[in-house]
Amino acid sequence: MLGALSVLAFLTGALQRPAPVNDAVIAADSYPAALSAYGFFTDLRTRTPAQRVTPYTLNTPLFSDYADKQRYLYLPAGTRAKYDATATLNLPVGAALIKTFGYGSGAAFKPLETRLLLRRAGGWVALPYVWNADGTDAVLKRAGTRLPVTFIDPAGQVRTISYAVPNQNQCKDCHALSGAITPIGPTARNLNDGHQLQALLAAGLLDRLPADAPRLARWDDGKLPLPERAAAYLEVNCAHCHNPKGGASNSGLFLDWRQPDATARGLNKHPVAAGRGSGGRLVAIAPGQPDASILVHRMESTEPGIAMPELGRATVHAEGVRVVRDYIAALPASAQ
């Protein structure tokens, strides 16, 4: 029988050990009403990750109205991610990708929503959770919602927007590949920043890592060549739809990094169907002429039916558009 001091020591140790993630909740067919049900965080106020919940960053992230994002990967005990040089990491059943959107940095970060991608036996499931006002939990909003948000952009301008939390069906619009939901951001190339993949390998969370693993550029790294930066920006923000297996496959505009055909990448490419989205412009990318390029016109719009990407933003990403504009302006008129 344990003495009083031994019991106290046992309980103290148990309280100090982080609780494990609830694997049964991830694998089940149900949709938990609260984020806390998963156990991804030992402290929801600080979003302190539980066991095997690993934070990560991306070289070039998707733009979402200047929101800050906190990203985490969860792998069940005894499993590892499989390296793939050309796609997202191959994650096992029971894995989860956890992405919290909010504004502010450090202790000033205010969470708005957490989007989950859960790898269940039948495939990936996407679920949006909206945080309560005091940041103690987030509740499931399968129908989505809108949240009034005020923030300061990188140029110091105060912005007020109606921030859109997507509904569950809208998640499919961006995350569908050949009709099935799939992750977008955590490709091996986008995670390869010189230490993250090495750390996953050392922790036993990645099966292998080739010495010549490719790396996606940072779109905002001014030391890199402009074409490389623009290509990275378009790949992350557009190619999840604009690829032969994506939602915009019928457009013939393919911005994924493996596309070798210059016309398919947009150079002097006429649209399949010229509607008001073209703004009277004739081609997706007019070399040397950003103002004559449909791509730029749609990136600079916030009007429904014209704006690209169609979802996930109510503002124009001025800095990203500038990189694409400069890239197009530098193309010789004979480029093809």
Q: Is 16 helix (H, G, I), strand (E, B) or coil?
A: helix
- Cα maximum dimension of the chain: 86
Q: Are 88 and 182 in contact (CB under 8 A)?
A: yes
CA distance 152 to 86: 36
Q: Are 132 and 139 in contact (CB under 8 A)?
A: yes
Burial of 205 (0-12, 13-18, 19+ CB in 10 A): middle
Quick one: pLDDT at residue 176? 65
CA distance 223 to 97: 31
CA distance 184 to 198: 21
CA distance 215 to 28: 35
H-type alpha helices, 142-225: 168-175, 188-191, 196-202
Helix or strand run (H / E) with residue 226: helix 226-238
Distances (CA, A) of 90 to 72, 186, 208, 279: 15, 10, 12, 40
Closest CA to 217 of 198, 194, 184: 194
Quick one: pLDDT at residue 123? 94
Q: Peptide bond preceding 304: is omega within 30 degrees of 0, i.e. cis?
A: no
The structure's pTM equals 0.90
Which residue numbers in the chain have pLDDT < 50?
A: 1-17
Q: Within its chain, how far is the Cα of 179 from the centroid?
A: 18
Helix or strand run (H / E) with residue 113: strand 110-120
Quick one: pLDDT at residue 17? 44
Distances (CA, A) of 106 to 103, 110, 111, 269: 10, 9, 11, 44
Quick one: pLDDT at residue 72? 98
Burial of 109 (0-12, 13-18, 19+ CB in 10 A): middle
CA distance 291 to 283: 11
What's the number of CA atoms in the CB half-sphere (13 Å) around residue 174?
Answer: 22
Quick one: pLDDT at residue 86? 86
